[in-house]
Amino acid sequence: MTVVGPFGLSVRDQALEADVQAGMAAVEAGLLEATKSEVSFITDAAQHLLKAGGKRLRPLLVMLAAQFGDPDAPGIVPSGVVVELTHLATLYHDDVMDEAEVRRGVPSANARWDNSVAVLTGDFLFARASHILADLGPEAVRVQAEAFERLVTGQIMETAGPRDGRDPVDHYLDVLGGKTGSLIAVAGRFGAMMSGADERVVDILTQYGERLGVAFQLADDVLDIASDSHESGKTPGTDLRESVPTLPVLLLRDRARREERPEDLALVALLDSDLTDDARHAEALAAMRAHPALEQARRETVRYAEEARAALTPLRECSAKAALVELCDAVVHRAG
């Protein structure tokens, strides 16, 4: 049994292990090649977050989905590079929008250089992804374009906020479907599609990826409050301190609005105060850890992970399907 990919995913089938490991190594080499430029400064900026690491969930899903067709088909590794390059590009842009100072344990590109460099580097990565995509055929271009439209729409929806009395929790889940679910869905779609899998299998793995992506982000929301820094890899309560509206906070606000309990209203007021103060931040973090909204957010994470698992039901039993199921379990475990 060998551990590969994010979450310590265990692969018990030697042939699958070999395919996945080889595919991931080829994707990594492809990413390094795709981020090179004749201008050394651009190479440094484009490889900044790449070399900082990352879970590589999207190319891993490409490799696993490809097992339902021909896993050696020529389009599989390039499509894994495309989805990861696209993801990396969004991180550069997100850090500018969020004014983030750290990403993957290193200074963000906007902190190391400036916002203009970060935005343009993200654009460079999108361009390189498009260049690779052009060789994968018009259907792949269309799939990526539709997903990218959803991704950008999700980002705009997040920036604009809910409108016309829309429930903030429903709005947030729609945002996650666009921002996170859409590209992970493409990873499942590309892996199956490029391998020549049946169209029904392609659809199943697309649906799986969408739900897994939302569950993955919801687990991050829970981790921001529930975990310690060793477990999550980042300072607990970072989103709280930066007033990022994660699911536990949105659920708290919804409960406070509906039930008007004094303790809920007091916690909302605390969250709305200046949480750059360490004592106030610690108080807010402790209160959120004890609040029922955190457990409610965990249940929502489990619900999406279970929907992802259920989507796999029609697939034939095999080691690749077992690995995809294990990814669902791993997401739930992160939020546990």
Q: What is the pLDDT of residue 104?
A: 61
Q: How far apart are CA 82 and CA 18, in angstroms?
A: 22
Q: Considering the chain, what is the average pLDDT of its residues? A: 87
Q: What is the pLDDT of residue 180?
A: 92
CA-CA-CA-CA dihedral for 243, 247, 253, 257, to nearest 10: 150
Q: What is the pLDDT of residue 97?
A: 66
Q: What is the pLDDT of residue 95?
A: 67
Contacts of 127 (CB under 8 A, 6+ apart): none
Total-model pTM: 0.89
Q: What is the amino acid identity at position 272?
A: D
Most distant pair of Cα atoms in the chain: their distance:
61
DSSP-assigned beta bridge partners for residue 2: 11
Q: What is the pLDDT of residue 11?
A: 59
DSSP-assigned beta bridge partners for residue 11: 2
DSSP-assigned beta bridge partners for residue 103: 106
Q: How far apart are CA 180 and CA 138, in angstroms?
A: 23
Q: Are 292 and 225 in contact (CB under 8 A)?
A: no
Q: How far apart are CA 282 and CA 290, in angstroms?
A: 13
What DSSP state is assigned to residue 274?
-
> What are the extents of the domains in the chain?
14-197, 199-336
| Rg, Å, the chain Cα set | 20
Window from 58-62, 170-174, 269-273, 274-278 with minimum mean pLDDT: 274-278
How confident is the model over 106-120, as a mean pLDDT? 72
Q: Please provide the DSSP assignment of 118-166 as one string.
A: HHHHHHHHHHHHHHHHHTT-HHHHHHHHHHHHHHHHHHHHHHH---TT-
Q: Are 326 and 216 in contact (CB under 8 A)?
A: no
pLDDT, one tens digit per residue, over 194-227 is: 999 999 999 999 999 999 999 999 999 999 898 7
Q: Tell me, yes or no, if the two domains 14-197 and 199-336 fold the same way.
A: yes
Q: Are 55 and 5 in contact (CB under 8 A)?
A: yes
113 has pLDDT over 50: yes
Q: Are 238 and 281 in contact (CB under 8 A)?
A: no
Q: How far apart are CA 61 and CA 54, in angstroms?
A: 14
Neighbouring CB atoms inside 10 A of 25's CB total 11
pLDDT, one tens digit per residue, over 145-179 is: 999 999 999 989 988 888 888 899 999 999 999 99
pLDDT, one tens digit per residue, over 3-56 is: 455 545 555 678 888 889 999 999 999 999 999 989 888 888 888 777 777 788
Q: What is the pLDDT of residue 100?
A: 57
The superfamily CATH assigns to domain 199-336 is Farnesyl Diphosphate Synthase (1.10.600.10)
Q: Which CATH architecture has domain 14-197?
A: Orthogonal Bundle (1.10)
